[in-house]
Amino acid sequence: MDEKGYESLKIENIVASGVIAGSIDLATVSEKIKNCELNTKRFPGAVYRIENPKIASLIFSSGKVVLTGIRNKEDLHTGLNIIIESLKEAGVDAFDEPQVAITNIVCSYDMGKYINLNKVVITLNLENIEYEPEQFPGLVYRIENPKIVALLFSSGKIILTGGKNMDDIKQGLDFLEQRLESIL
pLDDT in tens, 124-172: 877 789 999 999 999 999 999 999 999 999 999 999 999 999 999 999 9
> 73: exposed, middle or buried (C-beta count within 10 Å: 0-12, 13-18, 19+)?
middle
Residue pLDDT, tens place only, 73-103: 999 999 999 999 999 999 999 999 999 999 9
The whole-number pLDDT of residue 16 equals 98
Give CA–CA dist 137/122, Å, rounded.
17
Please count the other Cβ atoms lying within 10 Å of the Cβ belonging to residue 145.
9
Residue 5 clears pLDDT 80, i.e. is over it: no
- CATH number of the domain bearing residue 132: 3.30.310.10
HSE of 13, CA atoms in CB hemisphere, 13 A: 14
At residue 111 the predicted structure's pLDDT band, cuts being 50, 70 and 90, is very high
Do 93 and 31 share a structural domain?
A: yes
Q: Whole-number mean pLDDT of the chain? A: 93
* 9 within a domain of the structure (yes/no): no
Between CA 16 and CA 134 the distance in angstroms is: 33
Name the percent of the chain lying above pLDDT 90.
87
In a domain, 48, yes or no: yes
7 — pLDDT class (breaks 50, 70, 90): confident
Same domain, 98 and 115: no
Assess contact for 152 and 177: CB atoms under 8 A. Answer: no
Enumerate the β-bridge partners of residue 99: 19
Distance CA 112, CA 156 (A): 6
* H or E element in which residue 120 lies: helix 117-124
